[in-house]
Structure 1
Amino acid sequence: MAEVLRVSVVLPAGGTGERMGGGTPKQYCPVLGRALISRTMEAMERVSWISDVVVVVAPESVDLMKFIVHQYGHRRVSLVEGGPTRHRSIFNGLRAFLEDHSLGRALQKPEVVIIHDAVRPFVEEDVLQQITRAAKENGAAGAVRPLVSTVIASSSDGCLDHSLERSKHRASEMPQAFLFDVIYNAYLQCTDYDLDFGTECLHLALEYSKVRAKLVEGPPDLWKVTYKRDLYTAESIIKERLAKHLCIITHNKEDAIQIGFLLHESLKSQIKNVKAISSSMCKTAHELQGILLGQCYNFVCINVKESDFEETQKLTSLLQSSGICPSYPSVVVSVHLDFPEQSGTQDLSGIRDLAKEAQKADVLVYSLLIRFPKDEVQLQENVREASSIIMALIKDRNPVLTGQILVAGKK
């Protein structure tokens, strides 16, 4: 935020996940190898102007949450034990800023508090900023979306009583934001019935603090994970986002530069941002991080000889040691060039060992052999085939295929 404003977040995460149909609450189900709630906490921690993230968890899940916080290095997260209902859990989260209910470090009272769902991992900074500014100006604000279905009311005999005009109503979503005193005082005044059966924080602000919330139209990906099928949708959304950036790193020899150029030309129509650089530009983790600005999780590393993967070794070593891509599995496609004059079977066992070791650091290494014929037309066809394979690997991010040797084209 441009102005000096202390902003914190409360994430209620005490749900039991009954609608998931399984024994694991949805917030702890894995999405791309990491608990869903960790994805949401990470989305909040990416926002530099958010001071604290208070996660309210069921008492029986505290140890699990401590493990998740430690495992993924969440720095601004504090844990608070939740209550038996959503509103009582949120109230516990708010009180932690005043009454030292946190299970960790002491918290400082914020001017604005954002309330968000632990199972809505796709909130972006611009939405949080809009909601926060609106809360600062109006006392309360919440994201809304158009209704996708008509809402109807039934009579006591099970027949249609009336329906609502869909264009005049909105679905209340998260995040919501409040001046801290507005929502905290509303919780102090509300009834036990509200605490036990209510669901809408904006209503409490209106009913007990007389504050009419500003409604902000939110993007379509503010939906929350509710059912088991939503986990697959969430994973697909993440994979789609990760596939928007690609960095092609080439050896400085002529053949590698040529393949790098052809791949760049072929892939730039399929990937939003494709960057091609020389391996000499990223000798250190700091140099690589400066080039990528922390946005890229996909790499094509072009080696010269079929059995030579020196450039791939350098890159994976940088990724493993620096933590440049700690959030999601990063993909490295190790490209090897196969020339017509080469004979005999090359030993590629080293790439399998490299892939096995790199996977421990969430780096998925695949090996792609591109035939390099003398015929220019055939070479371009081989590169197009290689591009299709690279796109499939980036989009699927399948750990089972790491270390496999894939082949593109004819000699």
Structure 2
Amino acid sequence: MQASRPRHFALVPAAGSGSRMGASQPKQYLPLLGRPLIHHALATLCAAPDIDEVFVVLSVDDAEWARHDWAALGPKLVPLFCGGATRADTVLGGLRAIGAKVEPADWVLVHDAARPCIAPWHIDRLVRELADDEVGGLLAVPVADTLKRADANRRVAGTVAREGLWQAQTPQMFRYVMLRRALESASAVTDEAGAIEAAGLRPRLVAGDATNLKVTYPLDLHLAEWILRNRQG
């Protein structure tokens, strides 16, 4: 039976290798303040009162997950070993795996495993601003820097006007049935909003902030550590 209100489920794709970090282990397991990098995002999501369950979608052959203790995150956390070759494949695999647990109108918040600095207020703002939205949306920040388009020789081919441009973040929040159908039809996208856009819909941009950074290069780990240490005290 459908609950009196749509529920909220978090889905964290974590089947990638993080090759740009140049590390010997998947990026999501690199140490950050004594914990695996992914632990920080999962802890915030599991502690969020609006989120009913948190699914982390891992590679089918992931052996690293079992080497860590996740018990402190509580019963909300559920690992799913059904990740695919791409982010879209992994998210879609996760959506298929939880199909029996969710209702079509329930919300799914997809969050990058490599964004460890997500804060409670990020989740709260996204949930509140999208509660009555017909499409859903994503956290994002307006582009502040001048953008340059490069040619094949890495020389400037032109300057791109930044007016109206936003940098996408996560979580990205959409209704379960809408997101699943969109990804079934658009598997080449790099984020969930792209699949929704390909379906002819226009996701809403919800203002985030720069602290919700994505760890992509080694220096980003130091920035994430600084953010988390200063946020805690």
Residue 55 of structure 1 corresponds to: 56
SS state at 1:121 partner: coil
1:213 maps to which of 203, 215, 220: 203
Structure 2 residue matching 1:92: 3-state secondary structure: helix
The letter for the 2-side match of 1:78 is V
Instruction: Give the 5 Å matches for 1:173-322.
Output: 173-190=169-186, 192=187, 194=188, 198-208=189-199, 210-243=200-233
What TM-score does the superposition give when structure 1 sets the normalisation length? 0.51
Contact 1:134 1:141 in 2 (8 A): no
Describe the superposition over 1:255-295 as per-residue Cα deviations: whole angstroms up to 9, x where unpaired.
xxxxxxxxxxxxxxxxxxxxxxxxxxxxxxxxxxxxxxxxx
Residue 126 of structure 1 aligns to a residue in which SS? helix
1:108 match: 102
Higher RCO (Cα < 8 Å, 6 or more apart): 2
Alpha carbons of structure 1 residues 217 and 170: separation in structure 2 relative to 1, 3 Å = same
Aligned to 1:141: 137
Asked if the contact 2:142/2:164 (under 8 Å) is kept, the reply is no
> Does the residue aligned with 1:220 lie in a helix, a strand or coil?
coil
Q: 1:225 to 1:159 in 2, by over 3 A?
A: closer
Cα distance, 1:159 vs structure 2 = 5.4
CA distance in 1, matches of 2:73, 2:157: 53
The letter of the residue matching 1:228 is P
Tell me the CA shift for residue 71 of structure 1. Answer: 4.9
Asked if structure 2 preserves the Cα contact closer than 8 Å seen for 1:141 and 1:216, the reply is yes
Seq. identity, %:
26
Task: Report the CA distance between 1:89 and its aligned residue.
Answer: 0.5
For residues 164 and 233 of structure 1, do their structure 2 counterparts lie closer, same or farther at Cα, with a shift above 3 Å needed? same
Match of 2:99 in 1: 98
Deviation at 1:9, TM superposition (A): 0.6
- Cα deviations by residue, 1:351-392 (Å, 9 ceiling, x for unpaired): xxxxxxxxxxxxxxxxxxxxxxxxxxxxxxxxxxxxxxxxxx
Per the TM alignment, residue 157 of structure 1 is displaced from its structure 2 partner at its CA by 7.4
| Contact 1:7–1:113, Cα closer than 8 Å, also in 2 | yes
State the Cα deviation string for residues 202-222 of structure 1 (Å, max 9, x = none).
Answer: 1210212x3211101112211
Secondary structure at the aligned position of 1:168 is classed as coil
Whole-angstrom CA distance in 2 between matches of 1:64 and 1:214: 36
Q: What is the DSSP-based 3-state SS (H/G/I as helix, E as strand, rest coil) of the residue aligned with 2:216?
A: coil
- Structure 2: how far apart are the matches of 1:167 and 1:78? 41
RMSD across aligned positions (CA): 2.2
- Give TM-score scaled by structure 2 length: 0.87
Please say if residues 183 and 192 of structure 2, whose CA atoms lie closer than 8 Å, have aligned partners that are also in contact: no
- Partners in 1 of 2:98 and 2:128 — Cα distance? 21
- Segments of 5+ residues of structure 2 without an aligned counterpart are none
- Contact 1:134-1:214 within 8 A present in 2 as well: no
Q: CA deviation at 1:199?
A: 0.5
**Greater shift after overlay, 174-183 or 83-92?**
174-183
C-alpha deviations, 1:29-52, integer Å up to 9, x for none?
A: 111111111111001011122111
Query: Shift of the alpha carbon at 1:231?
Result: 1.8
**Aligned mates of 1:156, 1:236 — CA distance in 2:** 36
Equivalenced residues, count: 227
Between structure 1 and structure 2, the one with the greater Rg is 1
Instruction: Note if contact 2:102-2:176 (Cα within 8 Å) is conserved in structure 1.
Output: no
Cα distance in 1 for residues equivalent to 2:226 and 2:149: 35
Measure, in 2, the Cα distance between the counterparts of 1:66 and 1:95.
23
Q: Is the 8 A contact 1:140 1:179 kept in 2?
A: yes
How far did residue 82 of structure 1 move? 0.4
Unaligned runs of 5+ in 1: 100-106, 244-411
Q: Within the alignment, does 1:132 sit opposite 2:127 as a pair?
A: yes
* Residue in 2 that maps onto 1:257: none
Deviations along 1:45-101, one digit per CA (max 9) or x if unpaired, are 11122111111112222x4224435454442111222001111001111112216xx
In structure 2, what is the equivalent of residue 172 of structure 1?
Answer: 168
Name the structure 2 match of 1:82: 83
Give the corresponding residue for 2:25.
Answer: 24
Query: CA, structure 1 residues 160+237, in 2 after alignment: closer, same or farther (shift >3 Å)?
Result: closer
SS across alignment from 2:158 = strand
Letter in 2 for 1:121: P
SS at match of 2:6: coil
**Matched residue SS, 1:79:** strand
| Alignment-derived partner of residue 367 in structure 1 | none
- Structure 1 distance, partners of 2:98, 2:130, is 18
